[in-house]
Structure formats: C-alpha cells, structure tokens
Amino acid sequence: MTIYDNFYVYAPVSGQITALDYYCGDGYHPRNYENVSPIDIGGGGGGSLIFKASSNVKSIHIGHWSLCSGYGSPWSDGVYVELYSAEGTPYWAKFGAVYYGHVANRAAESWPNYNGSSVTLGTVPSSCPCGVCYNPCCEGDDCWCTPICDPCNCCYQGAHSHFELRNDSPVSSVNPNLYCGKQMYAGDSSSWVYKWQVAIG
C-alpha cells in the first residue's frame, strides 16, 4: 500500500492578495515558462522575502531566474526554490518548485538541507519606475505582447511579491481558500499557498 504525505509552502510576505489567475479587479495575470497559479501579495516594499515550508521538506535548491518585466532589474530578477523530500537534494526526491519574481538582493544559489525554518530569499523592491512605457518580453502566451503604459500605478499593484507554481508535478495544487483581499501572514501555516501530495513509501 502506497503511503502519501502532504508538503506545504507558506506565504513569503505578509499582506493582502492582490492577484490570483487574474488581477483583483480586472486583467489576466501573466505567468512565466508554463508555470501556473500565480499569486501576488501586496505591500512589503523594502522588507524580506522569505521561503518557509512544512518541516517534512528535507532539502531545497535555491537558484536564479529572469521573469517577464520591461522594468529591468530588480523587477525582472527572480529566485526559484526546488523542493526535495530527502536530504542532500537527490534527483529522485524532487517533487516541485516555486518561482518568486521581483526579488532584490537575491540570495546566492545553494543546495541546503532544510529544517522548517524561514530562509531569506531577498527583499521586495520598494517601488517601480513610474512614467515608463514598455513592451514586456514575450514567451509564447505567458506574457502580454501589447505595449503597456503605466504612468501612475507602479507595477500595477505597487510594491508586491509575485510567485508561481512550477507545472511539473501532477500532485501539486493551490490553496482553494485563497481570494482577492485575503490577509496572508509570512511563513504562517494558516497562510499556505501551495501543496504537494507525495508518495513516501
């Protein structure tokens, strides 16, 4: 009989949800590289962006990536975290990944064992350059290909954390109780965002 366990990742910042698959209010919420279930949490400008997961995650791989943003660094800078159910990041134990966007002062790439504590991935940029017209990069249908002018509402929602679920595991899911305006708390188990059901024996 196969035994399964649930693995969770929690909100990286405290604040209210400002976007899910769609921006709260209007508009499709872009995602990158065939990732799914993007989430924005507003606020946190200048503060730490953390990774925290359930303690049954035993090791992680922290790496860098670039996301679609016409603003340039640090708004185009991202950090991804790959999740493993065993220490030492063995290939056979990888079960998922979360991609974080708009990350300033990114943590160095590393492969640490994980004990359930918070890991700082970087900081949330405090603001975006206003009055800039730009045309975001285009990765298939992942990003808008139409020039957008954003003279007042910087980065649409102002300072915020953006993160996405890597769509490479059939056992992953997003918290069904998330909604626009919901208050989230960084690293709190009540504010889990993604879940994986993984066979462990």
In the chain, where are the structural domains located? 4-179+189-194
Q: What is the pLDDT of residues 171-182, one digit of tens each?
A: 788 999 999 999
pLDDT at 133: 40
Distance of CA 107 to the CA centre of its chain: 15
pLDDT at 149: 40
Whether the upstream peptide bond of residue 12 has omega within 30° of 0, thus cis, is no
Fold exhibited by the domain 4-179+189-194: Glucose Permease (Domain IIA) (2.70.70)
Q: What is the pLDDT of residues 43-80, one digit of tens each?
A: 777 889 999 999 999 999 999 998 766 567 788 899 99
Q: What is the pLDDT of residues 109-162, one digit of tens each?
A: 999 999 999 999 999 987 655 444 444 443 444 444 344 444 333 444 567 888
The secondary structure of 16-30 as a DSSP string is EEEESSBBSSSSB--
Dist. CA 196–CA 175, nearest whole Å: 11
155 neighbors 98 (Cβ within 8 angstroms):
no
Query: Structure pTM?
Result: 0.84
pLDDT at 169: 65
Dist. CA 31–CA 192, nearest whole Å: 20
